[in-house]
Chain A
Amino acid sequence: MPIPIPQSLEPLLRLDGITKSFGAHRAVDTVSLDLAQGEFFCLLGPSGCGKSTLLRLLAGFETPDAGMIRLGGEDLTGLPPHRRPVNMMFQSYALFPHMSVAQNLAYGLQGLGLSRSAIAERVEGLVRLVKLEGFERRRPDKLSGGQRQRVALARALAREPRLLLLDEPLGALDRALREETQGELRALQRRLGTGFVVVTHDPEEAMALADRIGVMDRGRLVQVGPPRELYERPASRFVAGLLGDVNLIAGLLGLADGGLRSVHTELGPVRALASEALAGAGPGDPVVVALRPERLRLGVGDNALSGTLVDTAYLGDRVRRRIRMADGTILCASASLLDEAGGPVVGDSVSLGFAPQAGWVLPA
């Protein structure tokens, strides 16, 4: 029996079976998704996976071949971009080069039936919001990259959209500025309570920003969940690899063992947690054990393995080691320098191990 959904829990955005093809290429393939009010959502995927097309479908620059887009219960599917209560921050910022900062910010406010003074007041508020006081009369080409980014953000917020779309919003910033801006973006989003959809190809950025991440691969939304779930419990090898470095140890599925599953690998038998994706799999089916480098530890313990150290890289806050196993595969282990004292040198035989809860068995 369906439980009636209270008004406040009705999703802000509902995508139902959205499909879009360009010629024979299916850019977005039957994507369905619900976004809650005030949610910060990231679309993550490699270039060409369809994430930008999905964003453009939401903004109205593309029309879906099939499916429906609803915002707060209202059907947006056939509306042109200028009639949608949705705004977008462009990857290139798309600041109008022939207008000043203030004129850029005012652009979306004209035509709303506001008085001249009301527009000026709103523009002033936006300038303060993104801390650009004193730059109102500058042209975009006289601003720094970070200032341009803030103008673009403020301009997209001017009409108080119910949903803000951001296409690689931090992609053009350098590393130091990017981390600072991530924090500001999150704080701003929490303050405004507007739903944000960010497109990015950078997993660290997605994890730093989002309440939930949607991973796209070849037009399909392959997994949706909070950052931690995606990182630690990916649904596929693709998602595992997309979110960070991962060791994949091939093997054949063994028997269930308590809450764990045993796997017969070339390196010996191991035990690890199994993904739900293996629900239908039986003993003997090919699988991989996914293991993050920071979970693979030197020393003897559970799931003992052994190999030869071939490379040590010092990375400042941690050290990364590459170990050649008996069958020739290379595993990568990363450890915090705080735990280190001495340690093996290249050419040494080393023992390795990982906790069964740290390994994650996936279909091959």
Chain B
Amino acid sequence: MTAFNRIALTAGLGFLYAPILVLIVYSFNDSRLVTVWGGFSTRWYGVLFGDGPLLASALVSLKVATLAAAIAVALGTLAALALDRHGRFTGRSVFTGLLYAPMVMPEVITGLSLLLLFVGLDVERGIPTIVIAHATFGTGFVAVVVGARLKGFDRSLEEAAADLGASPARVFLTVTLPLIAPSLAAGFLLAFTLSLDDLVIASFVSGPGATTLPMRLYSQVRLGVNPEINAASTLLIGAVSLVVLAASWLGARRGTTETV
């Protein structure tokens, strides 16, 4: 690495982490004001854990994210298998378009149009509609992660299993699935995190009684900086860092460098 590389990296990472560090530091600030350091305190964490509505919305978010990620893994894995194994079938480009478009589509469009669908079908809005919305854009991400794994997959392993007398179903269950399982787990985590993170789409498709954590945070954040939110953010950042570190540690142990 040259000095230029070093500077670019340090500056870039500094830019990425400075605001996060500010959040973390100020979550332990006894004072309510950002510019005043009132001494170290964990009082905002106490406030946070006494905030019933916030905790309730966190629970809603976890439920939604788990269900949405599970559906996205099922659909995304099927989609990745179709793209990897079915060659150049008719409608393939439409299929890939359908899969990848939700990933980059501005969230306001996805959110509004899904809401209009639910209104048109006269579906009651709540947790199920948010799950559907999140599964829809999670599917593409799962398909990309699983697809990358399938691309590097040695097809002769499946042929060897068939050659040794395994039926197609047994080949899939005993060879293909165990070997792509890490990518399914990675896809689940990605879809889960994206769901946990989404404010815009959830705001459109949610109904009374189904307030997700980002929706709750947003309504408070609009009122300005709030130390309780800093505490909540610190906890979230801590949880994510643990997951990422665990994933890269597992990856290193397996001798692969796949992350994301």
Direct contact between A and B in the complex (CB less than 8 angstroms)?
yes
Residues of A bordering B, CB below 8 Å = 59-61, 80-84, 86-88, 90-92, 94-98, 107-108, 111-112, 155-156, 158-159
Which residue of B154, B166, B178, B179 is within 8 Å of A82 (Cβ)? B166
Chain B residues lying within 8 Å of A97, measured Cβ to Cβ, are 157, 179
Please name 9 pairs of A and B residues whose Cβ atoms are closer than 8 Å in the assembled complex, sorted by A: A82-B171, A86-B163, A87-B163, A88-B159, A94-B157, A96-B157, A96-B160, A107-B166, A111-B165
Give bound CA distance, A37 to B215, whole Å: 75
Kindly supply a per-residue 1/0 record for chain B positions 124-165, scoring 1 wherever the CB is within 8 Å of any chain A CB and 0 otherwise: 000000000000000000000000000000101101111111
- In the assembled complex, the Cα of A87 lies from the Cα of B161 at a distance in Å of 10
Known: A90-B156, A94-B157, A96-B157. A82 touches B163 (CB 8 A): yes
Considering the chains assembled together, what is the distance between the CA atoms of A97 and B160 in angstroms? 12
Known A-B contacts A96-B175, A97-B179, A111-B170; the reply to A59 vs B163 at CB < 8 A is yes
Question: What's the A-B contact tally at a CB cutoff of 8 Å?
Answer: 63
| Nearest 10 pairs of A and B residues by beta carbon | A108-B164, A94-B160, A94-B156, A81-B162, A82-B162, A90-B156, A88-B163, A94-B157, A82-B165, A98-B178
Chain B interface secondary structure, helix, strand, loop or mixed? helix
- Given A94-B157, A96-B175, the answer on whether A111 and B166 have CB atoms closer than 8 Å is yes
Cβ contacts under 8 Å, A98 to chain B: 178-179
Cα distance A107–B175 when bound, in Å? 10
Instruction: Report Cα–Cα, A60/B156, bound state, in Å.
Output: 13
When distances are taken between beta carbons in the complex, the residues of chain A under 8 Å from B166 are 82, 107, 111
B-side contacts of A82, CB under 8 Å = 162-168, 171
When C-beta atoms are compared, the residue in chain B nearest to A141 turns out to be B255
Q: How far is the CA of A112 from the CA of B166 in the complex (A)?
A: 10
In the complex, the chain A residue whose C-beta lies closest to that of B160 is A94
Q: Which residue of B lies closest to A155 (CB)?
A: B164
Contact partners of B179 in chain A: CB under 8 A: 97-98
Inter-chain CA distance A86–B167, complex, in Å, is 15
| Contacts A94-B157, A107-B161 supplied; 17 other A-B pairs, CB < 8 Å | A60-B162, A60-B163, A61-B162, A80-B162, A82-B162, A82-B165, A82-B168, A83-B165, A88-B163, A90-B159, A90-B160, A94-B159, A95-B160, A107-B166, A107-B174, A108-B165, A111-B166
